[in-house]
Amino acid sequence: MVTLLFVHGTGVRGPAGETTLDRIRSEIAARRPDVRVESCDWGSALGSYLRADGASIPGFVAQDGKGPDSPAAEDEEVARWALLYTDPLAELELFALTASAASAPFVPGALSRGDTLLADLARLADDDALRTAWAEAGLDVPLARTAEALAAAPELRRAAAADGGAASALPRLAARALVAHALNESGGDAGRVPAVRRDVLVDHVTDALGGDVRGIPEAVSAAVRFSARLFENAVGNRLAVARRTAWSGRSAGFFGDIVRYLVRGDAVRAFVAEAIRARPGPVVLLGHSLGGIVSFDLLASGALLDGATAGAGARPGNVTALVTVGSQAPLLYELDALPSRPFGSGLPAGFPPWVNVYDRRDLLSYQAAPVFGTGASDVRDVEVDNRQPVSAAHSSYWGNEQFYTVLYGVLDRVAEQ
């Protein structure tokens, strides 16, 4: 039986790694039940942490517990979601600012379009199809509670009072705000829900609110476009200092793991090597982020070869393929910073077939073939599009069908050997 051994990336500890592993297992089991998916949790045993409770960080309070070929319209949508992930009510506020004041004549007893939307919002939890779509998206907060929170927001009330012929866009903007709010309130990264599933859920909510799933007025669209770009350019400067404590606490493991590995990586490589040797039969290594660096270094170092098998063309133990995802190994090689291979040395003889998966919006992913060269080795870069903003792209491969298509291809080739 083939074992797919998942080597996680930076900052992952215990439950976070299990959540990702469960997702990969679920996807693989649907098509390749003959493949055993297992984890190599090196982070819990050997990962970094703030050993002096953040004393080195000014103001720290200890905490417990577009690429050139990408479509412009797609990039605009990604930028808008980056804004919504931070402020779910941003589009509604912009709608209220750009739409003209209500001008329809008063009709006693008649509900305005804004009042109708608020009434529909209160009934969302009674929609069986929407409740099903909500559950399938894996959101951890109840639909009814999320709808109540949105209905109480002053930004929605101001948007509902706006008219000027643009109110037909309000259901869709409210739907996007509702989903963004739920993603922010649920545990984990906002980008963990695949973009396709997120957008389908927005369409369901828009339909339940009596809106058109397509229409957003150009005035609102232009304002959102401008604000999203401004947000992407300014958020780092404006919020970095104010939120340094929170960000430092979350990022200590992320960046600390990388630095610690480059200085004291022998223990991590030995940990992964032992996990590989404990698995009988062929092993496909799946390394994410720093996990890809660890996996590459281990295979390139020859540490898995013993005296009986070492030699020209020898395979590294029972590892039959390497898949790296959002990994920095190619960059570190180009910088001459990899422990196992100095720049210019290429890959050792017998290095297993290597597929390197990257997303242009994932700024922590890099291409391998241009720097390592193919030569006699099988090195292949595959680009996928996670359809998530830069801030969420690095952790969004696990919900992308493009990625699994690539992975299935590797597993099929291994099974045929």
Question: Digits of tens for pLDDT over the chain (417 positions)?
Answer: 899 999 998 878 777 778 889 999 999 999 999 999 999 988 887 877 666 666 665 655 554 434 334 445 566 677 788 888 888 998 888 777 766 544 444 445 556 777 888 889 999 999 998 998 898 888 888 999 999 999 999 989 888 887 555 457 888 889 999 999 999 887 667 777 889 889 999 999 998 988 865 555 555 555 555 555 544 444 444 444 344 444 444 445 456 677 778 778 899 999 999 999 999 889 999 999 999 999 999 999 887 765 434 444 445 668 999 999 999 999 999 999 888 899 999 898 889 999 999 999 999 999 999 998 755 458 999 999 999 998 899 999 999 999 999 999 999 999 887
At which of 243, 260, 286 does a domain end?
243
Do 94 and 235 have their domain in common?
Answer: yes
Whether 163 and 183 map to the same domain: the answer is: yes
Identify whether residues 395 and 284 lie together within a single domain.
yes
Under 8 Å between Cβ of 124 and 171: no
Is the same domain home to 102 and 24? no
Task: Judge whether 57 lies within some domain.
Answer: no
Q: Which domain holds residue 145?
A: 72-243
With respect to residue 315, please indicate whether it lies within any of the assigned structural domains: yes
Cα distances (angstroms) measured from residue 101 to each of 86, 92, 118, 162, 218: 27, 14, 18, 5, 17
Reported as a single tens digit per residue, the pLDDT across 199-250 is 999 999 998 988 865 555 555 555 555 555 544 444 444 444 344 444 444 4
pLDDT tens digit sequence for 339-355: 889 999 989 888 999 99
Residues 397 and 310 in one domain: yes
- Does the residue 355 lie in any domain? yes
Question: Are 305 and 268 in the same domain?
Answer: yes
Q: Which of 194, 209, 243 is the last residue of a domain?
A: 243
Full-model pTM: 0.70
pLDDT of residue 313: 45
Give domain status of residue 363, yes or no: yes
Residue 215 has a pLDDT of 55
Q: Is the domain of 147 the same as that of 292?
A: no
Residues 258 and 199 in one domain: no
- 233 burial class (0-12, 13-18, 19+ CB within 10 angstroms)? exposed
Tally of domains in the chain: 2
Position 65 in a domain: no
93 and 230 within one domain? yes
Angle at which helix 290-301 crosses helix 266-277, to 10 degrees, equals: 80
Mark whether 234 and 264 lie in a shared domain.
no
